[in-house]
Amino acid sequence: MNIESQTGAVTCERRGKILVVTIDNAPVNALNSAVRRGLTEAIEKAESDDQVEAVMLIGAGRNFIGGADIREFGKPSLPPTLPEVCNRIEACSKPVVAAIHGAALGGGLEVALAAHYRLAVAGAKLGLPEVELGLLPGAGGTQRTPRLIGVRAALDLMTTGCRVDAKQARELGLVDRVPASEDTLAEGLAYTQELLALKARPRRTCDAAGLADKAAAAAELEAAHNSILGNTRGLVSPLKIVEAVRAALEHSFEEGLRIERKLFLECMESSQRAGLVHAFMAERDVWKLPETRQAAPRRIDQVGIVGGGTMGAGIAVAVLDAGLPVVMIERDEASLARGRANIEKVYDRLVERGRMSADAKATVMARWSGSTRYESLAEVDLVIEAVFEDIAIKQEVFAQFDRVLKPGATLATNTSYLDIDALAATTSRPQDVIGLHFFSPANIMKLLEIVVPSKASAEVVATAFELAKKLRKVPVRAGVCDGFIGNRILAVYRAAADAMMEDGASPWQIDKALRDFGFAMGPFQVTDLAGGDIGWATRKRRAVTRDPEDRYVQIGDRLCERGWFGQKTGRGYYVYASGSREGTPDPEVEAIIDEERRRAGVTPRDFSDDEIIRRYMAAMINEGANVVHEGIALRPLDVDVAFVHGYGFPRFRGGPMKYADTVGLGSVLDDIRRFANEDPRFWRPSPLLVELVERGADFASLNQHA
Ligand code: 3HC
Ligand code: NAI
């Protein structure tokens, strides 16, 4: 064994006749320019060294290769390009083996496909997830994958971005061998030696026969094309992937690569790519906080939940699914039985659909215990309160926590709006109190706002983030204010939507314009789904503090007074045929809106879809800027992540603040000033927005200082 050379992030070591090429670029061996250069040099070295008869590629650390270096996107790229590297590997005159463990994703899998033989150990994760970043596999993936595993399987991998494990990869034909042990180096060397003993020659994927039956391949492409057309979720890259695979069918390998490159660069230039990469990075940056740097989390072995209603039950499912035991407290035995039934309902549905076995359900439910006595919480490490949204009741519950919980336990509230500082102040341990604002349904929705009151210790914040990790939630740090980040901003853009409705746009026009923009649902559909009564209760609560000079649209109240709360009552803004979740426009609602316009003295006017988007987004962005300005959100990226994961904001736009940067803050501010001519009380430019425009800066500049 001798060290032959060291080229930056790629090292070469000859072991007998095999040149072991190790990609070593922490954290995920991304293919930055140093790695690309190193790989090329390694192949040149193998070619020129007579003692080398085969090459083995392997990743250092936990992964083979996590893909192209996302941080290089949008910057001038240094040679060699990744397609050139892959072509060089494939052209090597000596056999090249890829020994895969951990992630072989995107460009990482493309490197492996350019190798001549592939082995993957158990635990490996292979995939072409470029589509999730608004891209297509751009280093030969669209040309080599269908040749290796056929059109249908290749398109499936590329258009869904799904990851497959080693066994599935073997079944698909992506890899040749899944060895018994997980010792990648030893297994890779053994496989390469076997190949040498068999005098195996380079076997190039570009020559594979997956497209040999042209007619069958073309039929598969057309079938896939049609299903993808109806399922792109507004994304551009899935159709470009189909186009690239079509090129694989219709042209030579070299011409196919040329077309792939052209399509890849088009995607790279797109705002969708920028938005999706922003979302990817922001989801990782939300974890980076002063508190998580300062303090280690406390242990969480057992969780208490108080309240077994909509939220308590959903949170319990999330905690049970994470493998943690739950102690649930309710007011009385009947409520406790209802709480348990609410949880079981979730699992029963999974059992009915064949997605969970009855035994698995029994195992999960064995982790649940219930009680009507707070003393049962004595051993829990963290407790989450999800009782009625009433400060007096919550104070009573927290007094019980103070009495029974062990020292060092974390006390959390799931309140949507109440003042957590005030709640913390009623206990003798405000340093242990935090807000954990889950979203409904709590076992499904990814967002978890972690609301940090002024006295919370760094350790408690770190513990809340640790819980988020265990529950596989996307956490966003928020400060205390009415509605925190998400619901506070929601109240403002929702008011903008109500104003547009009273001024002449119909709820269905507004909803459709926003769906076309990429939202999962429009605001009126959301109200009908969540239940109009929830917002109504909040509006009534706020009525006492509302400035009578502020515009207040009463249409929602008129619907609620009729008991029209949305889907659950069969009508709301829309009318729902019995049992249906699809609403249809309701002429009676139109009549109510007309009546309200007359009462308010409004002469209705037409709105274009573009104007609807501009007003809705300007309201969202302006309040987002206020939330950052006041330190409720640490950075604009926290607002973005909250909206993508909690409010159906189109991921391909990155989030409202990223969208604002994309259209230009000057243009957003101009809009707000123009709208202010009609309603200066509502449209007040955020001081942060004004300052950024004056400095010629954008929201992204504030993310960099985080
Ligand atoms: N480039 C640059 N940085 C990357 C990266 C990449 N491809 N993938 C991950 N990272 C960074 C993350 O940003 C994070 O940085 P941070 O510590 O500063 O926050 C760090 O690596 C660790 O990432 P995770 O927290 O995600 O670590 P995990 O261990 O949970 O997951 C992973 C590792 C499975 C590799 C996951 O990071 C992942 O899925 N990465 C993206 C994979 C991907 O989309 N690859 C395709 C890229 S596009 C491409 O290859 C184009 C080609 O076709 C030409
Ligand atoms: P819910 O009415 O469905 O459930 C409340 C439960 O608390 C009931 O089962 C009730 O019996 C129980 N309870 C009341 N007082 C109690 C006490 N003193 N001790 C023990 N149990 C008690 O209410 P929901 O919707 O689950 O809301 C709970 C909390 O979650 C509220 O603070 C709400 O603002 C918040 N929240 C609600 C969301 C939603 O979409 N429903 C979303 C996010 C937060």
Domain ranges of the chain: 2-268, 300-481, 506-605
Digit-coded pLDDT (tens) for 585-600: 999 999 999 999 999 9
Phi and psi dihedrals of 415, rounded to 5?
-55, 145
Q: Are 179 and 191 in contact (CB under 8 A)?
A: yes
Q: Are 88 and 145 in contact (CB under 8 A)?
A: no
What pLDDT, on a 0 to 100 scale, did the predictor assign at position 363?
Answer: 98
Whether domain 2-268 has CATH 3.90.226.10: the reply is yes
Residue nearest (by alpha carbon) to ligand 2 atom 1: 309
25 CA to centre of ligand 2 in angstroms: 48
Digit-coded pLDDT (tens) for 642-690: 999 999 999 999 999 999 999 999 999 999 999 999 999 999 999 999 9
Instruction: Give mean pLDDT, residues 131-151.
Output: 98
Q: Does 110 participate in catalysis according to the annotation?
A: yes
Instruction: Give mean pLDDT, residues 325-332.
Output: 98
Name the region of 234 (left: φ>0; alpha: ψ -120 to 50; beta: rest).
left
Mutating to test ligand 2, I would choose from 338, 345, 387 the residue with most ligand atoms within 8 A of its C-beta, which is 387
357 CA to centre of ligand 2 in angstroms: 30
29 CA to centre of ligand 1 in angstroms: 9
Q: Does 130 participate in catalysis according to the annotation?
A: yes
Atom index in ligand 1 nearest the CA of residue 107 equals 50
Instruction: Give mean pLDDT, residues 184-188.
Output: 98
Atom index in ligand 1 nearest the CA of residue 129 equals 44
Residue nearest (by alpha carbon) to ligand 2 atom 35: 415
What pLDDT, on a 0 to 100 scale, did the predictor assign at position 579?
Answer: 80
Q: Does the CA dihedral 83-87-88-90 come out positive or negative?
A: positive
Mutating to test ligand 2, I would choose from 306, 311, 414, 565 the residue with most ligand atoms within 8 A of its C-beta, which is 311
Digit-coded pLDDT (tens) for 490-542: 999 999 999 999 999 999 999 999 999 999 999 999 999 999 998 898 889 88
530 CA to centre of ligand 2 in angstroms: 15
At the fourth CATH level, which superfamily is domain 300-481?
A: NAD(P)-binding Rossmann-like Domain (3.40.50.720)
Atom index in ligand 1 nearest the CA of residue 105 equals 45
What pLDDT, on a 0 to 100 scale, did the predictor assign at position 704?
Answer: 74
The rounded distance, in Å, linking the Cα atoms of 413 and 663 is 38
Structure tokens at 185: 């180096």
User: Which ligand has the minimum distance to the alpha carbon of residue 84?
Assistant: 1
Digit-coded pLDDT (tens) for 444-494: 999 999 999 999 999 999 999 999 999 999 999 999 999 999 999 999 999
Atom index in ligand 2 nearest the CA of residue 313 equals 26
How many whole angstroms from its chain centre is CA 413?
A: 24
Torsion angle in degrees (nearest 10) through CA of 237, 239, 243, 245: 80
What pLDDT, on a 0 to 100 scale, did the predictor assign at position 1?
Answer: 36
Long-range contact list for 312-315, CB < 8 A, 24+ apart?
312/339, 312/342, 312/384, 312/386, 312/387, 312/414, 313/339, 313/342, 313/343, 313/346, 314/346, 314/438, 314/440, 314/441, 314/442, 314/443, 314/444, 315/384, 315/386, 315/414, 315/438, 315/442, 315/443
Q: Are 627 and 488 in contact (CB under 8 A)?
A: yes
User: Which ligand has the minimum distance to the alpha carbon of residue 529?
Assistant: 2
Spell out which residues line ligand 2, taking CB within 6 angstroms: 306-312, 329-331, 335, 339, 386-389, 393, 397, 414-416, 438-440
Atom index in ligand 1 nearest the CA of residue 284 equals 19
The rounded distance, in Å, linking the Cα atoms of 27 and 362 is 39
What pLDDT, on a 0 to 100 scale, did the predictor assign at position 3?
Answer: 40
105 CA to centre of ligand 1 in angstroms: 9
Answer whether the bond into residue 80 is a cis peptide, omega within 30°. Answer: yes
Which CATH architecture group holds 506-605? Orthogonal Bundle (1.10)
Mutating to test ligand 1, I would choose from 64, 70, 142, 703 the residue with most ligand atoms within 8 A of its C-beta, which is 70
Nearest by Cα to 338 from 315, 310, 365, 374? 310
395 CA to centre of ligand 2 in angstroms: 14
User: HEC states along 422-480?
Assistant: HHHHCCCCHHHEEEEEECCCCCCCCEEEEEECCCCCHHHHHHHHHHHHHHCCEEEEEEC
568 CA to centre of ligand 2 in angstroms: 18
Instruction: Give mean pLDDT, residues 294-311.
Output: 97
Instruction: Reduce the DSSP state of residue 3 to 3 states and report it.
Output: strand
What pLDDT, on a 0 to 100 scale, did the predictor assign at position 2?
Answer: 39
Instruction: Reduce the DSSP state of residue 566 to 3 states and report it.
Output: strand
How does residue 5 score in pLDDT terms, banded at 50, 70 and 90?
Answer: very low
Instruction: Give mean pLDDT, residues 225-229.
Output: 87
Q: Does the CA dihedral 390-393-397-402 come out positive or negative?
A: positive
Q: Does the CA dihedral 538-540-541-543 come out positive or negative?
A: positive
389 CA to centre of ligand 2 in angstroms: 6
**pLDDT surpassing 80 at residue 705:** no
Spell out which residues line ligand 1, taking CB within 6 angstroms: 27-28, 30, 63, 66-71, 82, 103, 105-107, 110, 129-130, 133, 135, 137-139, 141, 284
Mutating to test ligand 1, I would choose from 23, 25, 28 the residue with most ligand atoms within 8 A of its C-beta, which is 28
Task: Please tell me the total number of residues recorded for the chain in this structure.
Answer: 706
How does residue 7 score in pLDDT terms, banded at 50, 70 and 90?
Answer: low
Q: Which of 53, 90, 130, 449 is catalytic?
A: 130
Residue nearest (by alpha carbon) to ligand 2 atom 39: 440
163 CA to centre of ligand 1 in angstroms: 14
What pLDDT, on a 0 to 100 scale, did the predictor assign at position 6?
Answer: 52
Residue nearest (by alpha carbon) to ligand 1 atom 24: 284
Q: Is 579 exposed, middle or buried (0-12, 13-18, 19+ CB in 10 A)?
A: exposed
Mean pLDDT in the chain? 96
Q: Are 656 and 640 in contact (CB under 8 A)?
A: yes
Q: Does the CA dihedral 496-499-504-508 come out positive or negative?
A: positive
109 CA to centre of ligand 1 in angstroms: 13
The rounded distance, in Å, linking the Cα atoms of 628 and 238 is 35
Atom index in ligand 2 nearest the CA of residue 338 equals 9
Structure tokens at 484: 């925190």
What is the percent of the chain with per-residue pLDDT over 90, rounded to a whole number? 94
How does residue 230 score in pLDDT terms, banded at 50, 70 and 90?
Answer: confident
Atom index in ligand 2 nearest the CA of residue 314 equals 26
What pLDDT, on a 0 to 100 scale, did the predictor assign at position 4?
Answer: 45
Q: Which of 110, 187, 449, 502 is catalytic?
A: 110
